[in-house]
Amino acid sequence: MIDIIRADITTLDVDAIVNAANSSLAGGGGVDGAIHRAAGPELAQAATRLAPCPTGDAVITPGFRLAARFVIHAVGPVWHGGTHGEAALLRRAYERSFALAAGEGSIASIAFPAISTGVYGYPKRDAAEIALEVMRAHEVRFDRVVACLFDEESVRIYQELQSGE
Q: Which residues are catalytic?
A: 32
Three-state SS for 11?
helix
User: Which of 135, 117, 134 minimizes the C-alpha distance to 126?
Assistant: 117
Name the H helices within the chain.
Answer: 30-39, 41-48, 86-104, 124-138, 152-163
Give residues with Cβ within 8 angstroms of 163, minimum separation 6.
none
Alpha-carbon distance of 77 to 98, in angstroms, equals 17
